[in-house]
Every structure is written in C-alpha cells, then in structure tokens.
C-alpha cells in the first residue's frame, strides 16, 4: 500500500507544472475567489508561486510559495474606498477614483523587493502557466517576460475590454457595463446611456488609462509588447458568474463561468453566536456591508435612519460593525467586528440579509436561501441589485435618498411575503445544479490549458478581426455601393429609353400630320 502511494506521489510530481499566480486587488471579497484555486493546484502537485495581499500562510501547503502584498491595503485605503459610496457621485467620478487606486496599488506592489527579485530572475526562472486577475492589464506583463500561456480569473463580471480580448459578444442593450445601475430589461433611455457609456469607456481607456498602464508596465517589465496585445493571447478566462445573477448570453469556449467557488463546507458556529441565534425565536436580521464599505464611516444622518428603523422592528438585528461601540445602539441590535457569514446565513432563524450587494455576498445568501435587501454603494453592487430586484428575488434602497418608512416597509415586505423566499430557493437550485463543483471546474480547465500548451485551439478568430470586418461594415458598404450603382445604371438606361421614346413619338406625330400632294405653304 505504501509503495502504491509513493508511486502515485511520484507520478503526480512528474506531471506537476510550475504556476505563477498574480492577484493584485487588496480586497478580501476578491481574494476569496482566488484562494481556493491556488490552494487546490498546490495540493494537486503543482508548484505554485502567488502574489497576493491575502496569503493563506498554511504551512501544510509545501508546494505553495506566497509573496505577501498585504502592505498595499494601506495604499488602497488612502483613496477612501471605504467611503466611496457614502456621498453621491457620478459613475465617471467613481471609475476615476477606482482607477487611481488601482494604478497606485500596482506601483507599490511591483516595487516590492520580492516581486522585483522575481522579475529580475526572468531568465533563470521558468513557469508553465500564469494565472492573473483579469481586471487590470498591467500585471499581464508577467506573461511576456516569462513567455508562457496565461489564464485570466475574475471575481467580477468582465468589462467591455476584457470581453473583447476573448471575442465574447458584448451587446450594450443586453449586457450593460457592470458599473451601471441596471442589468436587464433596459428602457430606451437606458439602452442609449449603455451604448454611449461603452463607447466612452473604450475611448477614455485608449486615451487616458492605457498610456498610464503602459508607462507602469514599461517601468517595471522593460520593453514588452502592448498590454492589449498580450491580453488577446489569454488562453481562457474563468469568471465568477452564474445564471442566478447574470444574464443569459452566447459565450465563446474560452469563457468559463463558476458559481460560489468560495463557498465552504458548513462548520459549527461559535458557541456564543449559536446560542444567540437559537434563542432568537422571533428571527434575526443580519446586516453587513462587506469588507470594503465600513459601517462606522457612514454619515450620521443615514446611520440614524438605519438605527431608528431597527429599533422599531420585532426582530433581533446582528450587525457586522467595525467598532466595539455604537452610540445609541437599539436594544435589539447586537454588533460584532467579525462574523462567520457563510455559516451564519445557514442558520434557520436568519430571516433577512441586508447587504451592500457585492457578488460574493449575494452568492452566499442565494446558496443559503435567505431573502435579500440591498443597499448598493459602488462598483458592481448597483448592477447586481438591479438584477436581483428584476428577478423578483429581493428589494433595494438608495442609500442617499431612502426614508425610515421606506426602509421599514421593505424589511417587512421581505420578511412577511413568502414569494421572495420562494424565488431565492429557485435561484439557489439553478446556481447549485452543476455537473461538478466550481473548484473542480476551474482546476480542470486550468490543467486543460497546461495539457494543451496554451490551448490555442480555443481562440476565437474574431479577436484578430478589425471592427469594420467583424460588423461587416465593408461588406455592407460594398452591397450598398453595388445596389446604388445598379440603380444609377438602370436610371440612366431608363432616361435614355425615355429620351428615345419621346424622339420616336415626335417623329410618328409629324408623319401622321403629313398629307401627300398638298402644299403646306399658303
């Protein structure tokens, strides 16, 4: 038996690949999507090196090397991401702030000594595959210096430019950009805005953002190809999406969707928390704004509305709050700095989840079949909330304009009307009815790319086509010109025929008025 195990280990090690993972976003809600993948790859015998702000620090993972980039959280926080949605702002202002934060984080991460050492050893260091967060292209430079296939992974829906990199259809009326506050059933006005936004997004990216990213990539990676060219060589992209929260659309083979990859096996709750929930026979409302939006930093006016509403509810409220003290806290409200959200949502006494609408939080609520009230702030949260509401699976309020009456009314509606629970159960069944687990699917496709040395056969030809060819503009122009020419020729022929006919008619008329033998001169 020991010999068999040893033989299997040797075989596994013999087929193990050297993999570099680059996951830059300093946000735990993003990193929880990537962590299971790099952990599982290391357990399967691959030698994995990962750049991340959230290392696992698991000494049992002997095939895993993690370069700790947690210091970049400080840079991220300097751009006030935690308060980004607490004041009204336009989508363009939001994108500007997020872009500035990402560029700054990219600089400090690539400046890190261990990352610099990795880049410096590019001639002696070899990798068989690059895994990269497919959201910000600067890190695609690792593919060019190590000259190996690249797989993108995204914890969010793909942007317009990311979809174009793999040739995915991206219709503005059916798939608006995820930073817009609507996702489906667009009105005429919304379709116009979505179309203009996509065009402006691409134009601004080319004029403003891309030059900045190119300067950073040239600074740290040297003379590499343009980032948009490297992006088009991605072998496939793994996206945290599912039919419960995304629109149905045609997809190229290089797009692999996964659902709830970060959801873990059920574990017992801490004893004090379990006792609190078990004793709450009236039911518990769980309130959390995720890892990026801080409840303690909300404006006082809005905080008062929230607390006054909670005080009037017949339920207990469990609030993930970043401070140990909440002034004027209602008696039915319990605050905790940290809560095991996945296991908490599974408790039968949880009646409602009030959330900012982040994709991972919604995944967890749907998996646990808990009705949802969203308070979206920024990023994809408004898009996700709109989709949820349009599907009849939840309700939403605007953080800047809601009233206590509206807040309470929607809480009562969600907790008392069974149709929301029924819809969440239906969505949960759709999301979980898969031929394999999300993690198995992600790892299988990553190893598929390794087995097929980049899997170039998945590449869609449209990626290399100019837009005028893809949209048949040259063909349409040729057909229009040909039809116009034919009509022009036919028109000229018709005019000549009419001219000849008129001449012939005049001749006939003159002959008909002529009488032989009679002088026509008086």
Q: Which of 432, 450, 485 is the last residue of a domain?
A: 432
Domain contains 264:
no
Domain contains 5:
no
Domain contains 65:
yes
Predicted pLDDT at 453: 92
Query: In this structure, are 230 and 92 located in the same domain?
Result: yes
Domain of 240 in residue numbering reads as: 15-259+436-464
Over residues 297-317, mean pLDDT:
93
Query: In this structure, are 219 and 296 located in the same domain?
Result: no
Predicted pLDDT at 513: 65
Say if residues 354 and 320 touch (Cβ distance below 8 Å).
no
Over residues 479-496, mean pLDDT:
94
Domain contains 266:
no
Q: How far apart are CA 56 and CA 45, in angstroms?
A: 17
Cβ neighbours of 491 (radius 10 Å): 10
Q: How far apart are CA 457 and CA 149, in angstroms?
A: 13
Query: In this structure, are 364 and 342 located in the same domain?
Result: yes
Q: How confident is the model at residue 92 (pLDDT cuts 50, 70, 90)?
A: confident
Query: In this structure, are 254 and 285 located in the same domain?
Result: no
Domain contains 6:
no
Q: How far apart are CA 240 and CA 380, in angstroms?
A: 13
Q: What is the count of structural domains for the chain? A: 3
Query: In this structure, are 392 and 456 located in the same domain?
Result: no
Say if residues 444 and 438 touch (Cβ distance below 8 Å).
no
Query: In this structure, are 102 and 230 located in the same domain?
Result: yes
CA triple 182-184-185, angle to 5 deg:
110
Domain contains 236:
yes
- Show the tokens assigned to 153: 């992974």
Query: In this structure, are 378 and 448 located in the same domain?
Result: no
Q: How far apart are CA 303 and CA 235, in angstroms?
A: 47
Query: In this structure, are 98 and 235 located in the same domain?
Result: yes
Over residues 271-288, mean pLDDT:
94
Query: In this structure, are 284 and 423 located in the same domain?
Result: yes
| pTM assigned to the model | 0.86
Q: How confident is the model at residue 180 (pLDDT cuts 50, 70, 90)?
A: confident
Nearest CA to 288 among 363, 374, 366, 369? 374
Domain contains 516:
no
Query: In this structure, are 492 and 343 located in the same domain?
Result: no
Q: How confident is the model at residue 8 (pLDDT cuts 50, 70, 90)?
A: very low
Q: How far apart are CA 332 and CA 311, in angstroms?
A: 7
The rounded mean pLDDT for the chain is: 89
Q: How far apart are CA 378 and CA 85, in angstroms?
A: 6
- Show the tokens assigned to 240: 């945290």
Q: How far apart are CA 296 and CA 468, in angstroms?
A: 51
Predicted pLDDT at 181: 84
Domain contains 4:
no
Q: How confident is the model at residue 515 (pLDDT cuts 50, 70, 90)?
A: low
CATH number for the domain harbouring residue 243: 3.40.50.2000
Predicted pLDDT at 11: 41
Query: In this structure, are 426 and 393 located in the same domain?
Result: yes
Nearest CA to 136 among 213, 226, 215, 202? 213
Query: In this structure, are 200 and 277 located in the same domain?
Result: no
Q: How far apart are CA 152 and CA 131, in angstroms?
A: 6
């Amino acid at each position: 038996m020991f010999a068999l195990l040893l033989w299997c280990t040797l075989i596994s090690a013999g087929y193990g690949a050297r993999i570099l993972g680059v996951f830059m976003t300093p946000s735990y809600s993003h990193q929880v999507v990537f962590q299971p993948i790099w952990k599982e790859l290391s357990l399967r015998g691959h030698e994995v090196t990962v750049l991340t702000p959230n290392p696992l620090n698991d000494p049992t993972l002997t095939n895993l090397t993690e370069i700790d980039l947690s210091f970049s959280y400080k840079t991220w926080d300097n751009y006030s991401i935690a308060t980004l949605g607490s004041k009204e702002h336009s989508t363009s202002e939001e994108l500007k702030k997020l872009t500035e934060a990402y560029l700054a984080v990219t600089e400090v991460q690539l400046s890190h000594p261990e990352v610099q050492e990795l880049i410096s050893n590019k001639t002696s260091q070899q990798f068989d595959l690059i895994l990269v967060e497919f959201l910000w292209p600067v890190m695609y430079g690792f593919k060019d210096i190590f000259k190996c296939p690249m797989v993108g992974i995204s914890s969010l829906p793909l942007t317009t430019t990311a979809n174009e990199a793999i040739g995915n259809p991206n219709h503005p009326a059916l798939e608006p950009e995820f930073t817009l506050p609507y996702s489906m059933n667009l009105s005429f006005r919304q379709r116009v805005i979505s179309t203009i936004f996509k065009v402006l997004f691409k134009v601004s990216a080319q004029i403003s953002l891309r030059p900045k990213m190119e300067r950073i990539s040239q600074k740290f990676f040297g003379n590499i190809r343009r980032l948009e060219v490297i992006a088009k060589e991605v072998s496939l992209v793994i996206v945290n999406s599912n039919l419960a929260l995304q629109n149905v659309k045609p997809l190229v083979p290089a797009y692999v969707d996964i659902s709830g990859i970060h959801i873990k096996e059920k574990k017992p709750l801490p004893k004090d928390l379990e006792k609190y929930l078990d004793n709450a026979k009236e039911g518990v409302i769980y309130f959390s704004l995720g890892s990026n939006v801080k409840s303690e930093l909300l404006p006082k006016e809005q905080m008062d509305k929230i607390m006054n509403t909670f005080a009037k509810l017949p339920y207990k409220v469990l609030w993930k709050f970043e401070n140990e003290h909440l002034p004027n806290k209602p008696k039915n409200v319990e605050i905790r700095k940290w809560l095991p959200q996945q296991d908490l949502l599974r408790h039968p006494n949880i009646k409602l989840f009030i959330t900012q609408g982040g994709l991972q939080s919604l995944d967890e609520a749907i998996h646990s079949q808990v009705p949802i009230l969203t308070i979206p702030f920024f990023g994809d949260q408004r898009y996700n909330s709109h989709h949820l509401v349009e599907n009849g699976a939840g309700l939403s309020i605007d953080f800047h304009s809601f009233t206590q009456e509206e807040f309470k009314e929607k809480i009562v509606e969600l907790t008392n009307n069974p149709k929301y629970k029924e819809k969440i159960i239906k969505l949960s069944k759709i999301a979980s009815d898969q031929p394999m687990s999300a993690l198995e699917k992600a790892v299988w496709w990553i190893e598929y790319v390794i087995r097929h040395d980049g899997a170039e056969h998945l590449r869609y030809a449209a990626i290399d086509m100019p837009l005028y060819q893809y949209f048949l503009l040259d063909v349409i122009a040729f057909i229009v010109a040909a039809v116009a020419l034919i009509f022009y020729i036919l028109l000229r022929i018709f005019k000549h025929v009419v001219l000849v006919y008129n001449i012939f008619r005049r001749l006939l008329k003159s002959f008909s008025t002529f009488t032989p033998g009679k002088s026509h001169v008086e």
